[in-house]
Amino acid sequence: MHGLSEVVRDAARNFEQEIAENPEELTISGNGFFSMNKSFAATLFGVVLTYFLLIYQQKDQKADLAKVSNEQQAGFLTLTRQIEELAKRLNETLGGCATA
């Protein structure tokens, strides 16, 4: 067991030394399918952040659009009531003139 911990400790020291000597060449590989370095990670972070901001703005615009739609609908209902009241008064006035 003691021999294994020494091997792991030596591997960790070698890895730490490689990173200290060549920080720009540090890459992470996914079993050879891809490799990721600092530049790629920064680009990926930027893309994800941009996507998140666009989705957030769209969600915000939908909420604003719903609010405007509700306000328009309330204004339309108020206008409809006012027209109905005006028509009722007009009918009452015309009805009163016809009997006179």
pLDDT digits (tens, 9 = 90+) for 55-85: 888 877 777 777 888 888 888 889 899 999 9
pLDDT, position 2: 62
Residue carrying the six token digits 């079993």 = 31
Q: Is the pLDDT of residue 25 over 80?
A: no
pLDDT, position 99: 58
DSSP codes of every residue in 45-82: HHHHHHHHHHHHHHHHHHHHHHHHHHHHHHHHHHHHHH
pLDDT, position 33: 82
pLDDT digits (tens, 9 = 90+) for 33-48: 878 888 888 899 999 9
Where are the chain's structural domains?
1-36, 45-100
- Is 35 in contact with 28 (CB distance < 8 Å)? yes
